Amino acid sequence: MPRKSDIARSAALLAVAGLCIFSVRAKVADAHAHAKETSDVHLLPPPKEVVAMSMGYRAALADLLWAQVLVGQGLRTMDRRRYDTVADMLDTINELDPEFRDPYLWSDALITLQVTEVRREDLERTRAILERGIRNRPLDPEVWRTAGQFLAFTGPGTLIKDPEEREAWRRDGAKLLARAAELGGDKGYAGWSAVASANILNRQGERDAAIRLIQRTLAVTEDDELRDRLQRQLAMLIGEQKVEAYKQRQLELLEISRNDLPFVGKTTLHILGPPFDTAYCAGGKTGNGKTMCHYVEIMGGRRRDITRR
């Protein structure tokens, strides 16, 4: 049993400790209220070393870091301060899981849309991440479209003051948007990106490239509104007469598809090409070593023989 003197001594010590805490609590609370984090320190090692540290769980660690990036961005936005290490985190995530799609699609917003002023370094880091994305996901139209939009519009409109450099960024962005239109067809806004990229190419004097882009997009799109917009744009570039001839060829090709291959879509039909009589390919070779194949040419319903190696 504790003695009464021990209990009294313990109570006295607790009382003294309480008085000490109470005497400094107000000052500490006030200092804590005014103290704010102003910068971040990236504590992870270089990306390649993080890959080794993952011990094979690369995708799982990439998911964990991606969740941390999203939460961290929200917290820093609430605190009205910059997320200094977001680009480093994205580099690490890309190294862990190169085909992880979301970090590429959100990289431009995470790095450049912050509460503080954008720096030139931010543009370069964002461009590097997006270019890494199109290398790692070369058949993803959304990644190409995101990269193209950043290079063509968002990036040049912020810190790039040199007119020549700005136009170079926009030209590179237009080429990426053109590729997105080729890959995407009617998925999302990939087809509509052809409209903007064709305008950029035409303004920079690359008229032939703009025409080819519009024609390729017209060949695969199923969107009537987009088709009308592209046909008007094409008419401005090559003239009404040539547009009518192009539309007529497209209609005749569709007519053949409905008769011969009704189960094939437009994109597959353009890959296959017009039908031909295989009997003409069964003969021997001519004197110049070529085989004669009889193609049906989609021009006014005429037929002609074309030599093919």
Tens place of pLDDT per residue across the chain (309 aa):
557 677 777 878 888 888 888 777 777 666 655 556 667 778 899 999 999 999 999 999 999 999 999 999 998 888 888 899 999 999 999 999 999 999 999 999 999 988 888 888 999 999 999 999 999 999 998 899 899 989 988 888 777 888 888 888 988 998 898 888 878 755 556 677 778 788 888 887 778 888 888 887 877 777 778 888 888 888 888 775 566 676 777 777 677 666 777 777 666 766 666 666 666 555 555 454 544 454 444 333 433 343 343
Max CA separation in the chain (angstroms):
123
Residue-wise over 215-239: b if at least 16 C-beta within 10 A, else e? eebbbbbeeeebbebbbebbbeebe
Domain definitions of the chain by residue range: 45-136, 139-271, 274-309
Predicted TM-score (pTM) of this structure: 0.65
- What is d(CA 260, CA 257) in angstroms, rounded to the nearest whole number? 5
Coil, helix or strand at residue 3: coil
